[in-house]
Structure formats: structure tokens, C-alpha cells
């Protein structure tokens, strides 16, 4: 019992560390276009984004948490082993997040979490404990991994085309506008950046809420999968602290390296990203803020000057996205091998 309690505490701490690194890693995704278009100073951006990031997990519901907490099935697995699996999956995601942050690569925390958990579950207890959702897909229903992967794959495509269309509409509406309109576009970004921060908190913090609730359930600390309020508060606090710490290395990539962002582009990207992510949160679909923001910028650039989009940089980013799930899975597998040596989790 003592081992179970200590392992549960350690796993809760690691969940919150992941939540922190998620915010730290994704801070640049939220503020990149605001800063690149000179709508806000970094200090202004951090304050506004921090406030609305905190509100997102508290007011955004728990639909995404339910999806994330149920795509792996550890019922019937010994509690110590089950918590070890979660611990190692989270370690895989954290290590991948920090590595991609260090190199300034806008990778996806969501992909890293999915990859880490799948890797740890498969190596520790077998692929049968992953809710793949293939049978349900044949019946026209999206559940389990198929729902998660569908959201992660489709959301960037939706972000691209929504960004493309929004920019065309905005360009048509502002065709006769004077240069002074840029000031109003910058002012509007105070609202759209707040909306993007809220939607990010509502989607990304819920991933940690789902895993933390699963830890409590598997450890026998709660009777059913219902997210306690203190879990919402803890995850909201952790991701907000991460946002305030800021992984600013990625601002240059999203704000300048894909397409040169001006106020009209920034506003369009924020509108697109906030709308797509908020809609996904309502539908319980975990998406990647990194993906949606980056592809919205690509879509906006493609609608205006396709040749000015730095597609080579976009290709580099896409390659990183593709290798994130297997990369995080491999780290999680190695972590499980080490943890299993120390605590003898396998039963």
C-alpha cells in the first residue's frame, strides 16, 4: 500500500510537470502572431494570455478529459503496474517536449502525450489495453485512439483551409481601408489572443485533467471517472505557470520563419485557431495548438502569396510532427524499463 501511495503521488507530480511543460512549450504558439505583428509587447501578451489560459480549464468543461482518460484501458491491471505505465508515458511526453523546445521546433505536446502513453501501455501490458476504436469506426463511430488521431490529423487541415478562407474574406472587406486600419487590427488582437488562450487552456489542460483523474481512479482514490474540482484547479495553475514561464524559442519559427506576419495575418490566424480549438474542445476532441496555429499561418500565406510561404520550413515542422508519436513512445519504453527495474512493477 505504501508503494502504491508513493507511486500515485509521484505520478500526480509528473502529470502536473507535464501540464507545466505543455504550457511552457505552447506559450509561443499563442503569442507568436501577436508579438510578430507588434500588436502587444511580450509583457502585455503574457498577462492577457495568462489570465484567459487559467480560465479555460475551469470553464471549458471536461469532454476532452473524458476522451484522453479513456483511450487506454487499464482495468484489471495491478494498481502499481497501472500507475507505473502512466508515469512512464508521461516521462516520454515530457522528455520529448523539452527536447523539441530546446531546438526551437514547434512540436506537439498532444502527439507526445499520445505517443508516450501508447508506448508505455503496449510494452508493459500489451496492445489489448489500448482502446484502438477500429471496431467502432467500422460502425461509423469515433472512439478511443481513432478519435484522438482523427482530431490530431484533421485539425491542421481544417486550420489551413479556415485560415485561407478567413484571410480572403478579411482582405476583401479591407481592400479600400487606409493604413490606419492596422491600428484597429492590432487592437482587435487583444480579444482574439484572449480567445485563443482560453481555447488552448480548455483543450490542453483537459488532457492533464484526464490523466490525473485516471491516476486517482486506478489508485482507488475515487470511485468513478469524474474530474474533481481540485484537479481542474491544479491543472489550470500548472499550465498557466508554464505559459508565464514561456518557451520563447518557438516564437521566431511561428512568427517569422513560415510567413512574414502582419496585423491582418495575425488577426486571421488567431480567429481561426481559437475557433477550431474551441469547437474541438466542445466536441471532446484533443487537438494540437501548435498544429492549428502553424497551419492557419500557412493557409493565410497561401491565400495571399503562396510563393512567399517558406514551404521548406513547413516541411521540417511536418517531419517533426510525424516522428513525435513514435519518438515519445520510444522514450516511454526506455523509461518503463528503468522504472520496472527499481520498483518491480511487472506482476
Q: Find, among 206, 208, 237, the residue nearest to 12 by Cα.
A: 208
Q: Which of 67-76, 126-135, 155-164, 310-319 shows the lowest per-residue confidence on average (mean pLDDT)?
A: 310-319
Say yes or no to pLDDT of 30 above 90: no
Predicted local confidence at residue 322, as pLDDT: 82
Predicted local confidence at residue 43, as pLDDT: 78
Q: Which of 5-14, 79-88, 244-253 shows the lowest per-residue confidence on average (mean pLDDT)?
A: 244-253
Q: Which positions ≥6 away from 284 have C-beta within 8 Å? A: 63, 64, 66, 67, 147
What is the percent of the chain where pLDDT is above 70? 93
Q: Find, among 146, 85, 152, the residue nearest to 117 by Cα.
A: 85
Enter the C-alpha cell of residue 92: 516520454
Highest averaged pLDDT of the listed ranges 129-133, 245-249, 319-323: 129-133
Predicted local confidence at residue 274, as pLDDT: 95
Q: Find, among 109, 155, 112, the residue nearest to 296 by Cα.
A: 155
- How many whole angstroms separate alpha carbon 193 and alpha carbon 334? 39
Q: Residue 161: count other Cβ atoms within 10 Å of its Cβ.
A: 16
- How many whole angstroms separate alpha carbon 189 and alpha carbon 299? 19
The residue behind cell 511526453 is: 93
Predicted local confidence at residue 207, as pLDDT: 93
Mean pLDDT (the chain) is 87
Enter the C-alpha cell of residue 300: 493565410
Say yes or no to pLDDT of 22 above 80: yes
- How many whole angstroms separate alpha carbon 268 and alpha carbon 303? 12
Q: Residue 169: count other Cβ atoms within 10 Å of its Cβ.
A: 12
Residue 291 · residue 159 · CB < 8 Å: yes
Residue 100 · residue 221 · CB < 8 Å: no
Enter the C-alpha cell of residue 108: 506537439
Distances (CA, A) of 17 to 11, 81, 91, 319: 10, 21, 9, 26
Residue 282 · residue 63 · CB < 8 Å: yes
Q: Which of 154-158, 162-166, 315-319 shows the lowest per-residue confidence on average (mean pLDDT)?
A: 315-319
Say yes or no to pLDDT of 275 above 80: yes
Residue 270 · residue 33 · CB < 8 Å: yes
Confidence of residue 117 (pLDDT cuts 50, 70, 90): very high
Amino acid at each position: 500500500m505504501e508503494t502504491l501511495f508513493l507511486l500515485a503521488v509521484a505520478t500526480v507530480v509528473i502529470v502536473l510537470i507535464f501540464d507545466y511543460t505543455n504550457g511552457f512549450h505552447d506559450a509561443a504558439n499563442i503569442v507568436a502572431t501577436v508579438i510578430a505583428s507588434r500588436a502587444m509587447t511580450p509583457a502585455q501578451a503574457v498577462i492577457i494570455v495568462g489570465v484567459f489560459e487559467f480560465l479555460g480549464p475551469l470553464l471549458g468543461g471536461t469532454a476532452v478529459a473524458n476522451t484522453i482518460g479513456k483511450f487506454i484501458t487499464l482495468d484489471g491491471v495491478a494498481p502499481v503496474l497501472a500507475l507505473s505505465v502512466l508515469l512512464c508515458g508521461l516521462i516520454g511526453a515530457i522528455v520529448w517536449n523539452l527536447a523539441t523546445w530546446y531546438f526551437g521546433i514547434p512540436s506537439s505536446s498532444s502527439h507526445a502525450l499520445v505517443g508516450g502513453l501508447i508506448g508505455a501501455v503496449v510494452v508493459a501490458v500489451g496492445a489489448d489495453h489500448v482502446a484502438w476504436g477500429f471496431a467502432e469506426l467500422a460502425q461509423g463511430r469515433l472512439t478511443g485512439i481513432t478519435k484522438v488521431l482523427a482530431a490530431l490529423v484533421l485539425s491542421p487541415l481544417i486550420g489551413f483551409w479556415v485560415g485561407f478562407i478567413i484571410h480572403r474574406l478579411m482582405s476583401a472587406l479591407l481592400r479600400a481601408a487606409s493604413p490606419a486600419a492596422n491600428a484597429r487590427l492590432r487592437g482587435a488582437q487583444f480579444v482574439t489572443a484572449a480567445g485563443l488562450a482560453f481555447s488552448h487552456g480548455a483543450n490542453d489542460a483537459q488532457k492533464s485533467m484526464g490523466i490525473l483523474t485516471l491516476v486517482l481512479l486506478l489508485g482507488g482514490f475515487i470511485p468513478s471517472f469524474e474530474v474533481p474540482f481540485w484537479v481542474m484547479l491544479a491543472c489550470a495553475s500548472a499550465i498557466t505557470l508554464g505559459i508565464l514561464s514561456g518557451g520563447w524559442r518557438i516564437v521566431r519559427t511561428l512568427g517569422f520563419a513560415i510567413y512574414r506576419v502582419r496585423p491582418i495575418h495575425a488577426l486571421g490566424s488567431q480567429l481561426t485557431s481559437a475557433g477550431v480549438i474551441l469547437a474541438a474542445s466542445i466536441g471532446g476532441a484533443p487537438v494540437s495548438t501548435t498544429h492549428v496555429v502553424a497551419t492557419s499561418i500557412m493557409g493565410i500565406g497561401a491565400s495571399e502569396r503562396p510563393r512567399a510561404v517558406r514551404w521548406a520550413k513547413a516541411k521540417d515542422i511536418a517531419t517533426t510532427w510525424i516522428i513525435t508519436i513514435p519518438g515519445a513512445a520510444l522514450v516511454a519504453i526506455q523509461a518503463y524499463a528503468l522504472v520496472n527495474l527499481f520498483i518491480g512493477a511487472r506482476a
